[in-house]
Structure 1
Amino acid sequence: MNKSILSYALLILLCLTAFRVKQPNILIIGDSISIGYTPFVIDHFKGKATVTHNPGNAQHTGTGLEKIDEWLGNEEWEIVQFNWGLWDLAYRHIDAKPYGNRDKVNGTVTYSVEEYAKNLDSLVTQIKSKTDAKLVFVTTTYVPEEEAGRFTTDPEKYNTAAISVMKKHDVLINDIYQKSKKIHKNHGIGSNDVHYKKKGYKLLGENISSFLEKQLE
């Protein structure tokens, strides 16, 4: 191959690279449950979209209010998916021995349902001021009976409040609570732990991916 043909081929390659359609960006903001299923979502969207999780654990809505601008950054997001809840409804006591000082008998709740709703309202307003992305809220997942710092009935109460806030702001809702309840019973770590085994996270990830894919169409 002579130099002119080689140069022409390289020019075409550079042009194709320069004008290549950029993949849409999806940001997932959430707690350890979302950290667990995000790798499966990333795998699902390979070649179709770039999926990023906020650094570390998004914890409760108070942490979200402090860090949301940092997590959104200046990136152009196609979709921003977010969830808070498990940390908000957790009861903690300084002397409690379970991890995270969880104690639903002697502890104090992180945020009441009313405080949680108010924080979510502020968060959605803040997110909308920073990005034109489609917003997706994912409901709080199942809490088993023997969890040390959380009541099993609370996710539904907090989800009801959250759904009301999301409807007010026209935010898309992926309500995974009932599915998470079924998945946890078969693939949860245990009756005292809100987390899942690998298979459980994979199944949650499939639900998340399916919902997000519809929003990209």
Structure 2
Amino acid sequence: MKKKQIFVLLFLFLAVLLGFAFMNKKPKILIIGDSISIGYTPFVKSYFSDKAMVSHNTGNAQHTGTGLLNITTWLGDENWDIIQFNWGLWDLCYRHPESKEYGNRDKINGKSEFTIDEYTSNLDTLVSIIKKRSNAKLIFVTTTYVPKNEPGRYESDVEKYNDAAKAVMKKHNIRVNDIYNESLDIHNKYGKGPKDVHYSEEGYEKLSELIIKFLETVI
């Protein structure tokens, strides 16, 4: 076989390999969020195991202040295809240093982590940073339900903070997965109680279905 023929065959072989690798390249999804997202992410990972590579930021993303300090580290140098993010549950939480509640929560005597105006400003900055560092498709997920008797959070604040976040996302033309209303029903059935914003394992699985359904429209 002549050298030219060998070269052509080798070229075709490499082209097929590269084409196959490209076709089978799984999109990379980064989820940034608090303990609620940490709870549903394993179910999202499992569902997309054959379709996408799903990662969560290291640890708890907490509030927007934590986000501003860590966002560049969380994004890293990875070429993300989709970045889903959420802040809010920690931002609207009231805390007081003398409170005996877990996390010093105290909505009577405490101070909110960030006011709505501060939350809005922080979110706007975070979105600008993410868009500058990544060409990924972005998704914002609204804050989930807060029970009336939660010691550090007001039930009515959630929709106010969600509305502020939606305005920021509209400004930046970012998709919003609004799961608040569904989370209310899920929490009533699978929540950890009238004083806890968290969910049972089954509750997180139900929340994951809302995340999965939306992600499938973007992948």
TM-score normalised to structure 1 length: 0.91
Q: Please give the secondary structure, in 2, of the residue aligned with 1:164.
A: helix
Structure 1 counterpart of 2:60: 57
Coordinate RMSD, CA, aligned? 1.5
Structure 2 counterpart of 1:112: 115
Q: Please give the secondary structure, in 2, of the residue aligned with 1:195.
A: coil
In the alignment, which of 13, 29, 51 is matched to residue 32 of structure 2? Answer: 29
Post-superposition shift, 1:147? 0.4
Post-superposition shift, 1:53? 0.2
Structure 2 counterpart of 1:124: 127
Q: Please give the secondary structure, in 2, of the residue aligned with 1:80.
A: strand
Q: For this pair of structures, how many residues does the alignment match?
A: 204
Q: Please give the secondary structure, in 2, of the residue aligned with 1:51.
A: strand
Q: Indicate yes or no: 2:172 matched with 1:169.
A: yes
Structure 1 counterpart of 2:154: 151
What is the letter of the counterpart of residue 93 of structure 2?
Answer: A
Post-superposition shift, 1:178? 0.3
Q: Distance in 2 between matches of 1:133 and 1:18?
A: 22
Q: Distance in 2 between matches of 1:19 and 1:208?
A: 29
Post-superposition shift, 1:170? 0.3
Provide the identity percentage: 59
Post-superposition shift, 1:43? 0.6
Structure 2 counterpart of 1:103: 106
Q: Distance in 2 between matches of 1:128 and 1:186?
A: 37
Q: Distance in 2 between matches of 1:63 and 1:18?
A: 41
Deviations 1:160-203 (A, max 9, x none): 00000000000000000000001000000000000000111001
Q: Please give the secondary structure, in 1, of the residue aligned with 2:216.
A: helix
Q: Distance in 1 between matches of 2:19 and 2:140?
A: 34
Q: Distance in 1 between matches of 2:176 and 2:19?
A: 36
Post-superposition shift, 1:93? 0.5
Q: Distance in 2 between matches of 1:213 and 1:63?
A: 29
Q: Which moved more, 1:154-163 or 1:18-27?
A: 18-27
Q: Distance in 1 between matches of 2:20 and 2:69?
A: 38
Q: Distance in 2 between matches of 1:18 and 1:51?
A: 23
Gaps of 5+ in 1: 1-11
Q: Indicate yes or no: 2:69 matched with 1:66.
A: yes
Q: Please give the secondary structure, in 2, of the residue aligned with 1:81.
A: strand
Q: Distance in 1 between matches of 2:83 and 2:176?
A: 12
Q: Distance in 2 between matches of 1:16 and 1:202?
A: 38
Deviations 1:2-61 (A, max 9, x none): xxxxxxxxxx8xx85994222110000000000000000001101100000000000000
Could you list the structure 1 runs, at least 4 aligned residues long, displaced by more than 6 angstroms after superposition. Answer: none
Gaps of 5+ in 2: 1-12
Q: Please give the secondary structure, in 2, of the residue aligned with 1:105.
A: coil
Q: Distance in 1 between matches of 2:40 and 2:218?
A: 18
Structure 2 counterpart of 1:48: 51
Q: Distance in 2 between matches of 1:93 and 1:157?
A: 22
TM-score normalised to structure 2 length: 0.90
Structure 2 counterpart of 1:91: 94
In the alignment, which of 160, 183, 187 is matched to residue 186 of structure 2? Answer: 183
Q: Distance in 1 between matches of 2:169 and 2:49?
A: 29
Post-superposition shift, 1:98? 1.0
Structure 1 counterpart of 2:139: 136
